[in-house]
């Protein structure tokens, strides 16, 4: 069996194939001279292996693309299976406050060492600097073309990762597969014309971001950066809106609720209570929200509310200004910056052409897919690796 691609999904496919059929011959062909390069740089060098979410129905909600198909796949290999798999091989994982899971060493090399040691133990062959240039199906076997030779295999797992360009998938198209055009996911918003950038480094713990003219709304921590906005609320919006935001060339208006899910009635009563209890305090000196002081002053200034004004002097007009500002503040986005921590592409091999019980192609039997080459992607937090482990495990198991 040939596994094309020495990344997370390719390794898991090869290891699973050897586990389920120890006598089989399994070779990983990797085009570069490095194995598991993305694992190495992942999670800021710590590798966010998976997410501590142990209910498959909940887990799938973190995948803008592939959620339905992964539901079945996670029944075969879940986040708990990932944790057990690494722990059984001496790599304990820890869970951080936001449920992301890392090796306790805080070093992605631990994960690489574990995968490579396991491949040696099980006898997986590895061929570096071996780009597969073409796959042809000849009756029941596959002919793989390399730089200077060809070779034949009965089964092939394609685990070549994402490609930013559609042409990168031409060799899979040639086998009859439909490719969903790739576009970036997980990016931050550029706001060249917005002065809020001067507050770079400030964050709010829970804001909602809505994209005008779409159904996109996401909540979570929001970070102001020197080029615009980032943080989970923005990254999630970019992932769920990957295609629609690409269609509008990354130019749009966002509406921010600085108070997360708080609605008008709830905010009105907080404002009334503040006026009643703290009426003699200046707006500047009493900020009843979880908003950093410098941002609070910036926002007051934005709607021309004097910082020295007393809460008791706010009046109906002032209350309405604050309501609108806090619940529906607006910024113009123009352009994006790829989030360096966890860049993924949306798009790839169409999921309708893959049987998720086995990861086998429906249009080219004997060919299996695993990992980011598929039109699957998750938000940040370990979900992309989990999809790679799961689909790799199933492809390897089924292909023997
Ligand atoms: C900087 C960064 C940080 C990230 N951090 C995280 C994180 O902490 N947690 C998380 O869940 N996700 C993270 N991700 C996403 C995650 O790395 C990917 O989703 C995951 O690596 C996909 O695994 P894969 O095996 O499908 O593809 P890849 O890791 O891309 O591996 C594919 C391999 O196939 C090889 N290949 C391609 N074409 C050929 C060919 N024709 N012949 C032979 N070999 C070929 C490539 O060289 C590559 O080694 C991060 C991504 C980036 C870029």
| Ligand 1 atom with minimal separation from the 51 CA | 11
Indicate which residue's Cα is closest to atom 53 of ligand 1. Answer: 343
Q: How far is the CA of 119 from the centre of ligand 1 (A)?
A: 18
Separation CA 295–CA 326 (nearest Å): 11
Segment 114-121 shows an average pLDDT of 98
Percent of the chain surpassing pLDDT 90: 96
The conformational region for residue 210 under phi > 0 = left, psi -120 to 50 = alpha, else beta, is beta
What is the CB < 6 Å shell around ligand 1?
Answer: 4-10, 29-32, 37-38, 41-43, 47-48, 131-132, 159-161, 340-344, 371-372, 382-385, 388
> How far away, in angstroms, is 322 Cα from ligand 1 center?
46
Condensed to tens digits (0 to 9), the pLDDT of residues 159-171 reads: 999 998 999 999 9
| 152 C-alpha to ligand 1 centroid (Å) | 25
Distance 354 CA to ligand 1 centre (A): 20
pLDDT at 343: 75
pLDDT of residue 218: 97
Q: Full-prediction pTM beyond 0.85?
A: yes
| CA 87/CA 95 separation, integer angstroms | 13
pLDDT at 164: 87
**Atom 52, ligand 1: which residue's CA is nearest?**
342
Res. 361 pLDDT band, cuts 50 70 90? very high
β-strands 217-224, 228-230: how paired?
A: antiparallel
- Average pLDDT score over residue span 112-136: 97
Per-residue pLDDT reduced to its tens digit, 252-288: 999 999 999 999 999 999 999 999 999 999 999 999 9
Calculate mean pLDDT across residues 319-337: 97
Indicate the top mutation candidate among 15, 42, 147, 182 to test ligand 1's pocket, ranked by most ligand atoms within 8 A of CB: 42
320/392 Cα distance (integer angstroms) = 54
Taking the CA of residue 371 as reference, the ligand 1 atom at the shortest distance is 26
Distance 38 CA to ligand 1 centre (A): 5
For the CA of 373, the closest atom of ligand 1 is: 26
Which residues are registered as beta bridge partners of 134? 145
Q: Which long-range contacts (CB under 8 A, 24 or more apart) does 291-298 make?
A: 291/204, 291/258, 292/202, 292/203, 292/204, 294/199, 294/202, 295/199, 295/202, 295/204, 295/224, 295/258, 298/196, 298/198, 298/199
- Give the residue among 256, 189, 168, 159 at the shortest CA–CA distance from 217: 256
Quote the CA–CA distance of 264 and 64 in Å, as a whole number: 29
Residue 341 has pLDDT above 80, yes or no: no
- Residue 328 scores a pLDDT above 90: yes
Return the pLDDT at 338.
87
If you measure from the C-alpha of residue 8 to the centroid of ligand 1, how many angstroms do you get, rounded to a whole number? Answer: 7
Ligand 1 mean position to 70 CA, how many Å? 18
Nearest to 328 by CA among 253, 266, 273: 253
Residues 6+ positions from 310 with CB-CB distance below 8 Å:
279, 280, 281, 282, 283
Cα 44 from Cα 24, distance rounded (Å):
36
Q: pLDDT tens for residues 204-219? A: 999 999 999 999 999 9
Number of CB atoms found within 10 A of residue 303's CB: 14
Is pLDDT at 340 greater than 80 in this prediction? no
Q: Which residue's CA lies nearest to atom 5 of ligand 1?
A: 42
* Residue whose pair of structure tokens reads 């060492």 in the numeric block: 113
| Residues 49-94: tens digit of each pLDDT | 999 999 999 999 999 999 999 999 999 999 999 999 999 999 999 9
- Per-residue pLDDT tens digits for 125-176: 999 999 999 999 998 899 999 999 999 999 999 999 999 899 999 999 999 9
Q: Whose CA is nearest to atom 20 of ligand 1?
A: 385
Backbone angles phi, psi at 375, to 5 degrees: -80, 60
Among protein residues, the one whose CA lies closest to atom 26 of ligand 1: 371
């Amino acid at each position: 069996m040939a596994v094309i691609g020495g990344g997370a999904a390719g390794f898991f496919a090869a290891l699973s194939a050897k586990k389920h059929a120890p006598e089989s011959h399994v070779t990983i062909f990797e085009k570069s001279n490095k194995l598991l390069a993305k694992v190495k740089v992942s999670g800021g060098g710590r590798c966010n292996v998976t997410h501590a979410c142990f209910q498959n129905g909940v887990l799938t909600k973190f995948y803008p693309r592939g959620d339905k198909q992964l539901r079945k796949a996670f029944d075969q290999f879940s986040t708990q299976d990932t944790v057990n798999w690494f722990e059984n091989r001496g790599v304990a994982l820890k869970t951080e406050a936001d449920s992301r899971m890392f090796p306790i060493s805080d070093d992605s090399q631990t994960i690489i060492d574990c995968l490579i040691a396991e491949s040696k133990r099980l006898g997986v062959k590895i061929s570096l600097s071996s780009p597969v240039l073409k796959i042809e199906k000849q009756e029941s076997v596959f002919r793989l073309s390399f730089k200077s030779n060809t070779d034949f295999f009965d089964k092939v797992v394609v685990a070549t990762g994402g490609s930013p360009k559609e042409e990168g998938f031409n060799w899979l198209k040639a086998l009859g597969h439909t490719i969903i055009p790739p576009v970036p996911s997980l990016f931050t918003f550029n706001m060249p014309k917005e002065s809020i950038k001067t507050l770079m480094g400030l964050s709010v713990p829970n804001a909602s971001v809505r994209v005008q003219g779409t159904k996109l709304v996401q909540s979570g921590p929001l970070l102001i950066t020197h080029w615009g906005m980032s943080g989970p609320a923005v990254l999630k919006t970019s992932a769920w809106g990957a295609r629609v935001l690409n269609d509008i060339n990354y130019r749009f208006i966002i509406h921010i609720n600085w108070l997360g899910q708080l609605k008008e009635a709830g905010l009105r009563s907080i404002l009334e209570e503040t006026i009643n209890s703290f009426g003699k305090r200046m707006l500047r000196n009493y900020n009843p929200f979880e908003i950093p002081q410098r941002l609070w002053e910036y926002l007051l200034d934005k709607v021309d509310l004097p910082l020295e004004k007393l809460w008791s002097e706010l009046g109906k007009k002032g209350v309405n200004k604050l309501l609108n500002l806090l619940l529906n503040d607006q910024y113009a986005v123009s352009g994006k910056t790829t989030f360096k921590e966890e860049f993924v592409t949306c798009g790839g091999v169409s999921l309708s052409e893959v049987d998720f019980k086995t990861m086998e192609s429906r249009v080219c039997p004997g060919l299996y897919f695993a990992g980011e080459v598929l039109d699957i992607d998750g938000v940040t937090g370990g979900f992309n690796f989990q999809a790679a482990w799961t689909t790799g495990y199933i492809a390897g198991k089924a292909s023997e």
